[in-house]
Amino acid sequence: MRATILERIALFACCLGLAAAAQASEEAGLAAVRDLGRLNGNALACGQKDTAAWVRVLMLNHAPKTRTYGEAYEGGTQETFAAHGRGEPCAAPAVLAARLDAVTQRLKAALPVPGQVPQGHNSPAESVPNAVVPRYLLQDPNGRAVTNEDFLGRFQLVAFGYTSCPDVCPTTLLEMKEVLKLLGDKAAQLQAIFITVDPERDSDQVLREYTAAFDPRILGLRGSEALTRRAAAEFRMRYEKVRDPAAPPGSYTVDHSAGMVLLGLDGRAVVRFAYATPAKLMAERIGVLMQEGGPHQFPRRR
């Protein structure tokens, strides 16, 4: 009887500890989102469009789509926007950038995106358990149809973005280029893919020139709006157009999920790399998987 009582007490204490940890995590997440909103209000009031765009990407990628988090973000935005309306001076760009970096680190630690390991873990990437094959039907810059089955027998490193993206996409493609470089001869076993989420403006020629500027081995893919949505959903990537009411028609940005997804030899998603994962770490992880994969034989159509 005594042992049973002690076990119940231990279990109860454990549950209390888990509940307290969960509450602390949620409080940290809400605090980070509120501060993100404050930065958004600052950026909007001071005309810092690049900062505002990056804030929206962070909010889209990390914050749970609940009323509580939405209110925290809006409250922070309104707070600083109103303060600037009362005469508070705008922060210098360097100061604003430092604040954004600090909030970004807090946000990633408290609210990691799906597939991203929270800070403090050993790896910035996460294996995808029970992974399915992300299916897509798009076209390359030459107008040829491309499907997920065209690269069976090779690894695929896939990113989503658009050519007018001011910061996230160029950074991602530079990382992709560096991964190919670090892999050396092994890069022949990897197909790097960039799927545009802005097919309205990213024509075949625009996409071809954009990816070639980073590395000619990066294949740009595009499709109709419906097929692009389908592909993004298959990879669990989100995106949406953001229009400024004061901007001319056709002028908009696109908020989208960042990071890259690695597909294995059989086309299954095996690793999701968080945005800004060092290229060296990605190349090392991919190299290990290539070595473990062995001489798998699949039909090669391309």
Q: Can you give the pLDDT at residue 85?
A: 81
List the domain boundaries for the chain: 2-110, 125-293
Q: Can you give the pLDDT at residue 217?
A: 97
> Smallest Cα–Cα separation from 254: which of 203, 198, 174, 186?
198
Q: Can you give the pLDDT at residue 108?
A: 77
List the 125-127 sheet strands across, edge first: 125-127, 269-273, 260-263, 155-161, 190-196, 218-221
Superfamily for domain range 125-293: Glutaredoxin (3.40.30.10)
DSSP 169-216: HHHHHHHHHHHHHHHGGGGGGEEEEEEES-TTT--HHHHHHHHHHH-T
Q: Can you give the pLDDT at residue 41?
A: 87
Write the pLDDT tens digit of every residue in 163-216.
999 889 999 999 999 999 999 999 999 999 999 999 999 999 999 999 999 999
Structure tokens given for 14: 């454990």
Mean pLDDT of 218-236: 93
Q: Can you give the pLDDT at residue 300?
A: 44
pTM, two decimals, is 0.58
